[in-house]
Amino acid sequence: MADYTAWQMQQWMTGDESLVRVGPGTGAGAEEVPGCPARDAAEARPGVRVRVPSRLPHEHLETFTLGPVCDVLDLIEFEGEPLERALDALLERPRPLHPGHLAYAEHAVRLYAGRPDPHGLTPVKPYWVVRKDNGRRWELYAWWRRYQSADGSVREYRRLRHAGARASTPGEIAIAAYTAAFGFSASWPRRWPREFALHDSPSRVTHVRIVETGLADGSRNVQFEGTVDEARAYYDAFGDAHVRSVVKGGPERPGPACADCKQFTGCGAVRRSPGALALPSRKLPLRKVSAGELQYHALCPAQAFLRALRLPQSDECSDAAKLDQAVHGWIEALHRRDGRPACVAADMPAPGANWTRGRWRVPDEEAELGRRMLLHHVNACPFRNAALIERAEPGPLRVVHDTAAQALVVAKPDLLYREDGSWVWRDLKTTRAASRRAGDLLDAYPRIALAVVLLAQGALGGDAGGSRVEVEILRPGGSDTQVIDPTDPERLAKARAVLRRYAGPWRADHTWEARPGRHCRWCPVSRWCTSAVRGEDAEEKA
Q: Residue 534 pLDDT more than 90?
A: no
| Distance (Å, whole) CA 288 – CA 276 | 13
Q: Using one digit for the tens of pLDDT, what is the confidence trace for 26-54?
A: 864 444 456 889 999 999 999 999 998 88
Terminal C-alpha separation, the chain: 60
| Distance (Å, whole) CA 54 – CA 59 | 14
Nearest to 356 by CA among 369, 368, 342, 367: 367
CA 348 distance to own-chain centroid:
31
Q: What is the pLDDT of residue 140?
A: 97
Q: Residue 540 pLDDT more than 60?
A: no
Q: What is the pLDDT of residue 201?
A: 81
Phi/psi for 334 (5° steps) reads: -65, -40
For the chain, give the mean pLDDT: 92
Nearest to 496 by CA among 422, 427, 405: 405
Least confident among 144-153, 267-276, 308-317 = 308-317
* Burial status of residue 225 (CB atoms within 10 A of its CB: 0-12, 13-18, 19 or more): middle
Q: What is the pLDDT of residue 436?
A: 72
Q: Using one digit for the tens of pLDDT, what is the confidence trace for 458-481?
A: 999 999 999 999 999 999 999 999
Q: What is the pLDDT of residue 27?
A: 65
Q: Residue 508 pLDDT more than 50?
A: yes
Exposed e or buried b for every residue in 287-321, given b needs 16+ CB within 10 A? bbbbbebbebbbebbbbbbbbbbebbbeeebebee
Task: Return the H-helix or E-strand segment holding 456.
Answer: helix 446-456
Give mean pLDDT, residues 522-534: 91
Nearest to 183 by CA among 222, 150, 144: 144
Phi/psi for 203 (5° steps) reads: -65, -25
Q: What is the pLDDT of residue 383?
A: 96
Q: Residue 434 pLDDT more than 90?
A: no
- Amino acid of residue 299: L
Q: Using one digit for the tens of pLDDT, what is the confidence trace for 79-120?
A: 999 999 999 999 999 999 999 999 999 999 999 998 888 889
Phi/psi for 425 (5° steps) reads: -95, 120
- Amino acid of residue 209: R
Nearest to 76 by CA among 114, 128, 105: 114
Strand partners, 202: none
Distance of CA 423 to CAs 4, 46, 386, 465, Å?
40, 39, 14, 10
Q: What is the pLDDT of residue 537?
A: 56
DSSP conformation letters of 81-108: --HHHHHHGGGS-SSPPPHHHHHHHHHH
Q: Using one digit for the tens of pLDDT, what is the confidence trace for 225-280?
A: 999 999 999 999 999 999 999 999 998 999 988 988 999 988 889 999 999 999 99
| Distance (Å, whole) CA 16 – CA 46 | 8
DSSP class of 275:
T
CB 177 within 8 A of CB 231: yes
Q: How many CB atoms lie within 10 A of CB 328?
A: 17
Task: Return the H-helix or E-strand segment holding 210.
Answer: strand 207-214
Cis status of the peptide bond prior to 34, with omega within 30 of 0: yes
Distance of CA 183 to CAs 15, 227, 237, Å?
27, 14, 19
| Distance (Å, whole) CA 237 – CA 231 | 10
CA 280 distance to own-chain centroid:
27
| Distance (Å, whole) CA 355 – CA 316 | 20
Q: What is the pLDDT of residue 2?
A: 46
DSSP class of 437:
P
DSSP class of 16:
-
What is the pTM (predicted TM-score) of this model?
0.93
| Distance (Å, whole) CA 225 – CA 430 | 48
Q: Using one digit for the tens of pLDDT, what is the confidence trace for 360-400?
A: 999 999 999 999 999 999 999 999 998 999 999 999 999 99
| Distance (Å, whole) CA 146 – CA 308 | 28
Exposed e or buried b for every residue in 341-374, given b needs 16+ CB within 10 A? eebeeebbbeeeebbbeeebebeeebbbbbbbbb
Strand duo 184-187 + 468-475: pairing:
unpaired
Q: Residue 3 pLDDT more than 80?
A: no
CB 131 within 8 A of CB 196: yes
